[in-house]
A and B are shown apart, each in its own frame.
Chain A
Amino acid sequence: MPELVVLRDVQDSELRHIEDYLKVGGYQALKKVLLELKPEQVVDEVKKSGLRGRGGAGFPTGMKWSFIPKNVDKPKYLVVNADESEPGTCKDRVIIERNPHLLMEGIVIGSYAIGAHCCYLYIRGEYYEQAQILSLAIEEAYQHGFLGKNILRSGYDLDVHLHRGAGAYICGEETGLLESLEGKKGWPRLKPPFPAVVGLYGCPTVINNVETLATVPRIMERGADWFASLGTPKNGGTRLFAVSGHVNKPGTYELPLGIPLREIIFNYAGGMKDDKVLKAVIPGGSSCPILTADEIDVKMDFDSVAAIGSMLGSGGVVVMNEEACMVKVLLRIAKFYAHESCGQCTPCREGTTWLKNILQRVNDGQGRPKDLDHLMGIAFNMIGTTICPLSDAAALPVRSFIQKFRKEFEYHVHQKACDVAQVMV
């Protein structure tokens, strides 16, 4: 078994209460950080570890932290992104449910590193039970002096507040999240300025994913070199892969970055359900271009997956067998983006629904010969033309599905029907 980082103490159990967490050495990393290290040293250590954001974009975490300007009078904020909503992704939920204090510890360390004394933990509204778990964890952390004034007598103060969203995928985008946190619609902001300079309430802000922050205590505990050695160059550590779809053992697996996708599916997720043939895999949540069965030897790290034209994204691995209709799956993805587009930018607002409508027709046997070219063209016009990446996220799957499964789409258009088996032959 590969070494675990985030799920180390909780592979088959939960450590919801602080007493249990303390028993396995919890908050020791925080003690070390607060009493022995300067904030800059924490940032440097995280930089050295090669930790990249686990939300989807994979931006180096230490570098993100270092963008916070040093000499400003304004308060600084750490905002935790627990708005996990990317289809195929359910890994932050695992951390929250099994080891909420690991996240808390990461939050305090991260806040200390960037000089924040206030942190908001933004959790999607549907995660009601998870919000209750976190509320309890926050309460316990205050009671034990890991939050509040003068934490561990270090002189460092930090308040953490839980903030619930109300159902909007776009609030997973950093600045959409900030808008939402300020009591507005989750319309992503124009950048520049970037949140590190002008973020929450106009103040310097870092937004980090749950998994990212949950990783930090381990890095501080075992050292950057140890963490980096777990993954591949520039891709330090492990990743939670949420494997779903047509596999025998769907679940969230913590595995080193760089592990071949084939191994994830066949060694960890138990292989294909009912011994059906693997047809396609979405490697990192619905936004990521689809991979065919021929491409699953790819190493699952940010750079290797990007090299074959897809993305590691949020680590949500969706596995599809020979019976999955690509038109139908793509239609469902398109429906999702049409539903979740915030409506601000023209190409996304109009394009997502247009794609959905054409795909609906193709799926319903009403396809026309030009539809596939139109889908490709519309998707092309949606890429790189909007404020936030949702438009790209909606367009990239369309292009990759049609490119890689064109015959299947053509069959729908010309035969006005779906016959997956026939196409596969």
Chain B
Amino acid sequence: MPTLTINQKSITVPDGTTIIQAAEKLDIEIPRYCYHPGLSIAGSCRMCLVEVEKIPKFQPACNTRVSEGMVVHTNTEKVKEAVSGVLEFLLINHPLDCPVCDQAGECYLQEYYMKFGLYDSRMDENKIKRHKAEIIGPHVILDTERCILCSRCVRFVNEVSHSHEIGIFNRGSQSEIRLLPGKILDNNYSGNVVDICPVGALTDRDFRFQCRVWYLSETKSICPGCSRGCNISIHSNRQRPHHAGGRRVMRLKPRFNAEVNHWWICDEGRYGYKFIDDPSRISLARVKEKGEFLVLTLDQVIGRAGEKLREALEKVGRDSVVVVASPRLTNEDLFVIRKFFGEDLGLSQIDFRVPDQNLASGDDFLLRADRNPNSRGAEAVLLDENGFDLTQLLSMENSRKLQLLCLFEQDLTKTLGEAWAKKFLQQFEYVIYVGSNENETSVLSHLTLPSATYAETEGTFTNFEGRVQKINQAVEPLGDSLPTWQIVSKLACALGYRYNYENAEEVFGELAERVVEFQDLAYEKIGDSGVEIPDISKVQV
């Protein structure tokens, strides 16, 4: 554990730590372009040069391991001069087209020029002309004039995605990022190269020209795209509602979590946010009357749902009601469903497992075959004392008449296929659909309640490894929609139960007391990077 000083501040760090890492711990900013903690060390941009006493030459902080008694300076005149000189070199052939560049506002050329540059340009020559705005794949656009050849993208496709689409061709000032003729950057992790590009060379086709980044708010969340639970930030535009056709969620970015996804997310997750502001959103509650949808207030529709539920229970009994929850719901949603339907109403036919006809596959990196964010949580919350298996019901010809089906975020038409779904739905007198987006199943329902998406609510998901992670509200629930746990609470109230949870945290508090897998977990302890359920394998037994 060597102790060193950087700019007179002393710190002790583990063996093998580099100067740039030690400086980060001391909150000393060392500028960098090629260095990325998730990639091999290139050491070539030369922005992180520092002075180390007793070493005559500048050392790159990214590649220099600390040693006992090392004395490092990052802010001497010599270092400042060298760094600003490097920046000048990087900018001489840069087009300086910030007004039309999507990266403006989150560009490290801009940022470092203001912090470490501020020189007067000496560049009087013609700039080198290169390839502009090339579409290089389904998600990425390349502008080689803006490129500073940090090689992060090249290292990413070689070391992380192992897809090898990008290379640096030629040498010297003719060096340029290229792809093979006729080949494109097309792998499920391609969007990450945009994140790690420190300048405007690689931009996101999806986000391009939609919104200036300084209008964006960031909300920490979890990708709902599969059971990995990659940590993300939701970038939403609350300041300029007239931009991008009123879209509120503008993009998702990966958020570092050493236990889950490191710096990366897959493209399927990254671009899977569109449903949040899609026209297919169900924003208002409604009932079907004489084949026509009738929009009513949320409370009216919840009242109607309560009546239907009571009717079924009173007329036929508990065996006539089936609840199909979803592994897309939060632990809090699921707990309130279990509490109300299972415990208060005493229903036993509650499940969330629907056999999916469209089997997805995962990969050997982040993407999981299970495309639901909370299967593990749903198992823990719903299956603990419940022997019901929906599959059996689905595969049986039922002679008995079923009264009421309550579906949460379950597009059975898609998962089961149209014929099977219709046949199943027809066995019920009445179908209630609670969900965020319209689909083939929601339109078949008799009563529809609008639920909020993961971006509009807060709560927790449990990933496939048993890590409980928190989602936060990025934007307001659309229209009359509410988080599912609130809809169920209201329904419970309509049937005379007392449900007055203030927020997801309160629900979680009760969940932690009542569900063994969550025991001893405190909501505030989940933090930004989640907590793993201790000994989940034992608990599961």
Contact = CB atoms under 8 A, between A and B. Distances in A.
Give yes or no for direct A-B contact (beta carbon below 8 Å): yes
Interface of A: 168, 170, 185, 187, 190, 338-347, 349-354, 357-358, 361, 368, 370, 374, 377-378, 380-381, 384-387
Nearest to A344: B44
Nearest to A191: B63
Contacts of A380: 85
B275 interface: no
By CB atoms of chain B within 10 A, which of A353, A368, A370 has the most?
A: A353
A346 B172 contact: no
Contacts of A185: 168, 171
Contacts of B93: 350
A341 B148 contact: no
Contacts of A351: 89
Query: 3 tightest A-B contacts by CB?
Result: A381-B85, A343-B175, A353-B173
B49 to A, nearest CB: 6
Contacts of A341: 171-173
13 contacts: A170-B171, A185-B171, A338-B173, A342-B172, A346-B149, A349-B172, A350-B173, A353-B128, A357-B126, A378-B122, A380-B85, A381-B82, A381-B86
B60 A190 contact: yes
B493 interface: no
A346 B43 contact: no
Interface majority SS (helix, strand, loop, mixed), chain A = helix
Contacts of A342: 171-172
B172 A345 contact: no
A347 B89 contact: yes
Interface in B118-147: 122-126, 128
B88 interface: yes
Contact of B92 (A350, A361, A368, A377): A350
A247 to B, nearest CB: 32
Given A190-B60, A347-B89, A374-B122, A385 B174 contact: no
Contacts of B123: 354
By CB atoms of chain A within 10 A, which of B46, B90, B148, B149 has the most?
A: B46
Nearest to A386: B46
A169 to B, nearest CB: 10
Interface of B: 41-47, 49, 57-58, 60, 63, 81-82, 85-86, 88-90, 92-93, 122-126, 128, 148-149, 168, 170-175
B82 A340 contact: no
A346 B46 contact: yes
Contacts of B58: 384-385
Contacts of B124: 358, 368, 374
By CB atoms of chain B within 10 A, which of A341, A345, A378 has the most?
A: A345
B153 to A, nearest CB: 15
A352 B173 contact: yes
Interface majority SS (helix, strand, loop, mixed), chain B = loop
By CB atoms of chain A within 10 A, which of B88, B89, B124 has the most?
A: B89
Contacts of A170: 171
B80 to A, nearest CB: 12
Contacts of A346: 44-47, 86, 89-90, 148-149
A130 to B, nearest CB: 24
Contacts of B170: 343
A188 B149 CA distance: 16
B85 A347 contact: yes
Contacts of A374: 122, 124
B199 to A, nearest CB: 13
Nearest to B81: A381
Nearest to A189: B43
A180 B46 CA distance: 23
By CB atoms of chain A within 10 A, which of B44, B92, B128, B174 has the most?
A: B44
Given A185-B168, A387-B43, 15 more contacts: A170-B171, A190-B63, A338-B172, A340-B172, A346-B47, A347-B89, A353-B172, A354-B125, A374-B122, A381-B81, A381-B85, A384-B57, A385-B82, A385-B85, A387-B44
A347 B60 CA distance: 13
A350 B44 contact: no
A346 B47 CA distance: 9
B122 A345 contact: no
Contacts of A358: 124-125
Nearest to A356: B173
Contacts of B60: 190
A344 B149 CA distance: 8
A154 to B, nearest CB: 41
Contacts of A378: 122
B63 A347 contact: no
